[in-house]
Structure 1
Amino acid sequence: MQDAVFAVPAPGYPGRVTQQTSQQELYRFLEDRFACAQACAECARVCALRAGVLDPGGAESEKVRRKGIMCAEVCEATCRALTEENGRGEADLRVQLAWCRTVCLECAVAFETHRGAGTSAAACRECAAACADFLAALG
């Protein structure tokens, strides 16, 4: 009877999680999901902090500030999607992860051109890589 539990994957789990999935594969999947959620949370924190300390004035500073705020919001939403049981399916998670990855890469580019924002750019790149890794784990 317990084999039936894995017959239909839970929302947010890859379709390939079946009764034949090894415990090690399932642990790796969950570790990747957790690592991505942690990277998103850290990126959100760094982007929000960075957006709050950018030099006021100037169109370029305002553009970078807006990118940082947007990145923080997308990362927070992605973290919530990965850590809460909200009934999202794999397709929804893929869209969220791809969106987060794209926004983080754009934000990293914007931060790289702004004085003193190297740490923020690195956090964005790490988050984008974690999203890409988790997308790969979904298969």
Structure 2
Amino acid sequence: MTPSISQQQLYRFLEDRFTCAQACTECARTCAIRASLVDPDGSERQERVRRMGIMCAEVCDTTCRVLCEDTRQDEDAIRVRLEWCRSVCLDCAHAFDAYPGAESSAATCRACAEACSHFLETLG
């Protein structure tokens, strides 16, 4: 963020950052729960869903921590983190789509990806 931003732009930046961090936290929680429900000795598809859930939870958790820490972070580094998080969330949502009963988990992943996209727009 440049020193010449308006107060309204700053509020939007902070709101989008907070919303994204919240979405990441919710996605991490949901994915961890969903991954624990999948039988690790099940089919290859079940194993893929479990692995995607664990990876998504870890990426979202890390992204949330990055967003909640020092605001003087390099904007390019935040952008890369958000792009990665958005991509992993969408991949995870697709994996959950193929697993019966995981519709709400897929929706949570998509909501997180959307929050990442909105925050990326704020960054410009």
TM-score when normalising by structure 1: 0.85
Q: Aligned pair count?
A: 123
Among 115, 120, 124, the alignment partner of 1:135 is 120
More helix by share: 2
| Amino acid corresponding to residue 37 of structure 2 in structure 1 | V
Which deviates more, 80-89 or 65-74?
Answer: 80-89
Unaligned runs of 5+ in 1: 1-13
Match of 2:12 among 28, 33, 38: 28
Could you tell me which of 93, 105, 108 is aligned with 1:123?
108
Larger radius of gyration: 1
CA distance in 2, matches of 1:31, 1:47: 24
* 2-structure distance, mates of 1:46, 1:31: 22
1:20-54: per-residue Cα shift (whole Å, max 9, x none)?
x2211101110000000000000000000000011
What is the correspondence of 1:104-119 to structure 2 with a 5 Å cutoff? Answer: 104-119=89-104
Say what the alpha-carbon RMSD is for the aligned residues: 1.2
5+ residue gaps, structure 2, are none
Identity of aligned residues (%): 60
Could you tell me the TM-score, scaled by structure 2's length? 0.95
Out of 42, 47, 57, the residue aligned to residue 26 of structure 2 is: 42
Is 2:82 aligned against 1:97?
yes
Distance 1:41 1:124 in 2: 11
* Structure 1 outlier segments of 4+, above 3 Å: none
SS of the aligned residue for 1:50 comes to helix
